[in-house]
Structure 1
Amino acid sequence: MLKPHSILVIAGTDSSGGAGLSRDVAVAAEFGFAVKPVVTAVTAQSNDAVRRVELVDADLVKAQIEAAFADDAPAAVKIGMLGDAAVVRAVADALQGRELPIVLDPVIASSSGARLLSDDGIAALKESLLPWVTLVTPNLPEAEILGVERLHNSCRAALLKGGHGESDVLKDVLTQGQSEAVFAAQKQAFTPRGTGCTLSTAIACGLADGLALEAAVRQAHHYVQNWISGLQASD
């Protein structure tokens, strides 16, 4: 049975179903939440490549967000692919001042390497969203682009994901001000597409349930490891 509150997911579609909004909806459903979807981009993707991307007009993105709050307000927000500066600013304008948890997964490139956020979009992300969202969840390449020092010093909280690390033990590091928490896991045989979507949506669901940030991250980290293990067992 679904819970009385939904979560708002702002992201692109993925025609392969492996990532983006379709993955977000699947994860939220497992946690008992319906999703209010805000589409920022339509992508034509296979498991191997991004073939085409069409961004949604920024005004329409903002209108979708405002309409989502017009009825029953969501309990948390997850932000994924944004595409360019206009969409970043539209999202920031529509969410600024709303009192609810907001998790930002800064989608800069696809797993296959296709660029999904423009240079001006990265600049707008740093200026308009990073300083005030509840949590930002970059992987290691994204953290380098955004600036590790900026993430530590300018964000309310950051979760640096270690999935691209070379060690046999991968570590996700959560920083909140001067505090730090490490979530370690053994590297698994393969990493499926959509792990970033899965983790950030699971965290948003935990926050929507009223968990403290560290507890929500711990629950989501455990959920992702079990999901990957289940995929390997089914092969």
Structure 2
Amino acid sequence: MAPIPIALTIGGSDSGGGAGIQADLKTFSALQVHGCSTISCVTAQNSLGVERVDALPPEALQAQVAAVTRDFAVAALKTGMLLNQGLIEATAASIAPLAAARVIDPVMVSRTGAVLLEPEAIEALKALLLPLADLLTPNVQEARLLAGWPLESAGDLELAAEQIAALGPKAVLIKGGGLQGLRGSDVLWQDGRIQWFRLEPIDTPHSHGSGCTLSAAITGELARGAELEAAIRTAKSFVAGGLRHALAIGAGQGPLCHWHQALGEGPEGPT
């Protein structure tokens, strides 16, 4: 029997079940990957927004990672919402010795502009986590913060990806959905080469958790042994299927559907 692929997610809990740790574990399960988790903070939220955030002590985060990795052969991991400098420092110290593939989702600003990382923690993120990343997956707002200048076009995203890569990550995937005309389009910088991954945009107001799901699906595919470009293609297809079957639940923005493959959804690759 082949070894069971195991992935670890480090991030925040979404009480509404659409993003964060909950979305990551649903994604791992859909990809037939055993998911482990480390919670950095607990949010009180629903489809209308976040009402409260409580950070866990950094020592609690480190203890969770240590317990998981002491017992399980984690093949790939991802980080999500870390909130503050102490949690970033604890995460970096915990994952630096691990042999697992590392996907860093720098949860700093939502696509709508909501700030999800304390300002003094941004420099810690740059200095400690970016150099550990096998793949960094910022959205347009986060890429603007990391690059330090306005990004308004596809060409800007290509230049920013190269500039951000100079901060240490082995590869950078900027999600273009925050720019007009680039919905469904993401740009990858890897080994000095630029590559675009494109899918037709899905028109739905219910896309909560799509960024978490994309980075989790990439992580899950890496845990299964896929090469990075193949992992990105599969992950984008998975997110597209989830958006096509998005869940109109709650009074606000609902989440994408993580069990769409059980509905007979076929694979769809990017152009």
Q: Structures share a fold, TM > 0.5?
A: yes
Superposition deviation, residue 129 in structure 1: 0.7
- 1:39-86 Cα offsets, whole Å, 9 max, x none, are 000001121221000001011111111111110221110111001011
| Counterpart Cα distance in 1 of 2:226 and 2:37 | 23
| Counterpart Cα distance in 1 of 2:18 and 2:183 | 25
Is 1:81 matched with 2:81? Answer: yes
- Residue 202 of structure 1 is matched in structure 2 by 217
Among 174, 177, 189, the residue aligned to 2:191: 177
Superposition deviation, residue 210 in structure 1: 0.8
- Residue 134 of structure 2 is matched in structure 1 by 134
Instruction: Please give the TM-score of this superposition, normalised by the length of structure 2.
Output: 0.81
- 1:184-224 Cα offsets, whole Å, 9 max, x none, are 12222125110111000000011111111111111111111
Q: Is the 8 A contact 1:50 1:114 kept in 2?
A: no
- Residue 178 of structure 2 is matched in structure 1 by 164
State, as a whole percentage, how many aligned pairs show the same letter: 35
Q: Is the 8 A contact 2:101 2:134 kept in 1?
A: yes
Q: Is the 8 A contact 2:175 2:185 kept in 1?
A: yes
| Counterpart Cα distance in 2 of 1:153 and 1:114 | 26
| Counterpart Cα distance in 2 of 1:66 and 1:221 | 31
> CA 1:180–1:100 in 2, change beyond 3 Å: closer, same or farther?
same
Is 1:186 matched with 2:200? Answer: yes
Superposition deviation, residue 32 in structure 1: 0.7
Aligned length: 234
SS in 2 for 1:4: coil
User: For structure 1, which segment, 145-154 or 34-43, has the greater mean C-alpha deviation from structure 2 after superposition?
Assistant: 145-154
Among 237, 240, 247, the residue aligned to 1:222: 237
| Counterpart Cα distance in 1 of 2:7 and 2:146 | 26
> CA 1:18–1:96 in 2, change beyond 3 Å: closer, same or farther?
same
Superposition deviation, residue 232 in structure 1: 7.6
| Counterpart Cα distance in 2 of 1:11 and 1:50 | 15
> CA 1:162–1:56 in 2, change beyond 3 Å: closer, same or farther?
same
| Counterpart Cα distance in 2 of 1:116 and 1:164 | 16
- Residue 119 of structure 1 is matched in structure 2 by 119
Superposition deviation, residue 163 in structure 1: 1.1
SS in 2 for 1:131: helix
| Counterpart Cα distance in 1 of 2:141 and 2:228 | 23
Q: How does 1:23-102 map to 2 (within 5 A)?
A: 23-102=23-102
Q: Is the 8 A contact 2:185 2:199 kept in 1?
A: yes
User: For structure 1, which segment, 19-28 or 182-191, has the greater mean C-alpha deviation from structure 2 after superposition?
Assistant: 182-191
The code of the aligned residue for 1:16 comes to G
| Counterpart Cα distance in 2 of 1:134 and 1:103 | 6
The code of the aligned residue for 1:197 comes to C
SS in 2 for 1:231: coil
| Counterpart Cα distance in 1 of 2:5 and 2:232 | 20
The code of the aligned residue for 2:103 comes to V
Among 217, 227, 234, the residue aligned to 1:212: 227
SS in 2 for 1:181: strand
Superposition deviation, residue 170 in structure 1: 3.5
Instruction: Please give the TM-score of this superposition, normalised by the length of structure 1.
Output: 0.93
| Counterpart Cα distance in 2 of 1:57 and 1:111 | 27
Could you list the runs of 5+ residues in structure 2 that have no partner in the other structure?
A: 148-159, 249-255, 258-271
Superposition deviation, residue 231 in structure 1: 2.2
The code of the aligned residue for 2:175 comes to K
User: For structure 1, which segment, 164-173 or 134-143, has the greater mean C-alpha deviation from structure 2 after superposition?
Assistant: 164-173
- Residue 152 of structure 1 is matched in structure 2 by 165
| Counterpart Cα distance in 1 of 2:6 and 2:110 | 27
| Counterpart Cα distance in 2 of 1:112 and 1:44 | 19
User: For structure 1, which segment, 144-153 or 206-215, has the greater mean C-alpha deviation from structure 2 after superposition?
Assistant: 144-153
Q: Is the 8 A contact 2:176 2:183 kept in 1?
A: no
Q: Is the 8 A contact 1:163 1:171 kept in 2?
A: yes
> CA 1:3–1:21 in 2, change beyond 3 Å: closer, same or farther?
farther
Superposition deviation, residue 122 in structure 1: 1.2
The code of the aligned residue for 1:83 comes to L
Q: Is the 8 A contact 1:81 1:117 kept in 2?
A: yes
